[in-house]
Homo-oligomer: A and B are copies of this chain.
Amino acid sequence: MLYEITVPYFIKMLHNLEHILEKGARYAETKKFDMDVLLHSRLAPDQFPLTRQIQIACDTAKLAAFRLTEKPAPTHADTEKTYAEFQERIKSTIQYLESLSAADFKGSETKQITTPRWEGQWVTGAEFVSHHALPNFYFHVTTAYSILRHNGVDVGKKDYLGAMPFKK
């Protein structure tokens, strides 16, 4: 059950993140400034820039899936510098998520989940998803979106949400 409410939406939203970053890169090209300017932009002087928003969005999805399934995840040294490297980071996260199946998440609802920061404390897998993974993931994708929009990139809510599986 945790698979169904996480992995497909992590993948969808990471594709949406690729898409809004592409819009940022096109904007930089049109306005003749370096994409690095956007990558190093931030909404507040003591908040992370776009680079870290991308890395943490990826890590939130990757590490949530890893902690719930224990399926080996790709390591990322956070050494990306260029736009192409950040897109590569997202792509490699999506590939990992795509390699997982619902069966890998069997029993994860009640699994004890911890992180290095929690000093031995833990929550159940179901709590981890709803109290941490989902709100944190959406936080960083939204903040990436806001940094782009704040700087004039033509992104809208539909770019963030992506397509809906409409039926008639």
Q: Which residues from B are CB-within-8-Å of A37?
A: none
Instruction: List the interface of chain A (C-beta within 8 A of B).
Output: 1, 4-5, 8-9, 12-13, 43-44, 47, 112, 118, 120-123, 126-127, 129-132, 134-136, 138-139, 142-143, 145-146, 149-150, 152, 157, 160-162, 164-168
Residues in B with CB closer than 8 Å to A44 are: 149-150, 152
Interfacial chain B residues near A47, Cβ < 8 Å: 149
Contact A122 B167 (CB under 8 A): yes
Q: How many copies does the complex hold?
A: 2
Interface residue from B129, B131, B143, B164 paired with A165 (Cβ < 8 Å) = B131
Of B127, B162, B166, which one neighbours A123 at CB under 8 angstroms?
A: B166
Task: Contacts A43-B149, A149-B43 given; indicate if A167 touches B135 (C-beta within 8 A).
Answer: no
A88 to B5 Cα, complex, angstroms = 32
Taking CB atoms, residues of chain B closer than 8 Å to A145 are 139
- On chain B, the residues within 8 Å of A130 by CB distance are 4-5, 8-9
A126 surroundings in chain B (CB, below 8 A)? 4
Cβ B149 vs Cβ A132 within 8 A: no
A118, closest chain B residue (CB): B166
Question: Is the beta-carbon distance between B121 and A139 smaller than 8 angstroms?
Answer: no
